[in-house]
Amino acid sequence: MEKLEKFINAILETRKVWLLEAKEGFFAMLEDGDGEPYIPLWESEELAVKAAQGDWEGYTVTDMGFSELSHWLKELAADEIDIAVSPMADGEITAIPSYKFRNWLKPYDDHSFKDKDDDGDDDFDYGEGWAQPWT
């Protein structure tokens, strides 16, 4: 939980996360031992730069603000893709379900990002009990 706490505190300060982008709109992904997909997010540019090696060599380090991230997490939840918090080269990940991260992020979203087809409705069926606050 220390890693998660550090991540949360850092992104609250900057109001953004860092990702690795292969090309515009296509971001680095990874899978766990069961084949479950994750989008890796880092709390700093420096950590993302360190991760841009091996399979991710040549990827561009980019940032994403909370408003765009909140919008994107809705899509990730619908696609059943979760978040890997600052994964390191050893392969160990701290996972957060996309829907829980989005629920946590909502109070910090300034709604500055609007996609042309974003009607503000949350159309994803989270299922029984999925809308619980993340603690």
Residue 92 inside a domain? The answer is yes
User: What's 17's domain CATH number?
Assistant: 3.40.1350.90
Residue 129 inside a domain? The answer is no
pLDDT tens sequence across 18-61: 999 998 889 999 998 899 999 999 999 999 999 998 889 999 99
Residue 121 inside a domain? The answer is no
Domain that holds residue 92: 2-108
How many domains are there within the chain? Answer: 1
DSSP string, 15-58: SEEEEEEEETTEE--EE-TT--EEEEEBSSHHHHHHH-SGGGTT
Residue 21 inside a domain? The answer is yes
Residue 124 inside a domain? The answer is no
Percentage with pLDDT > 90 across the chain: 53
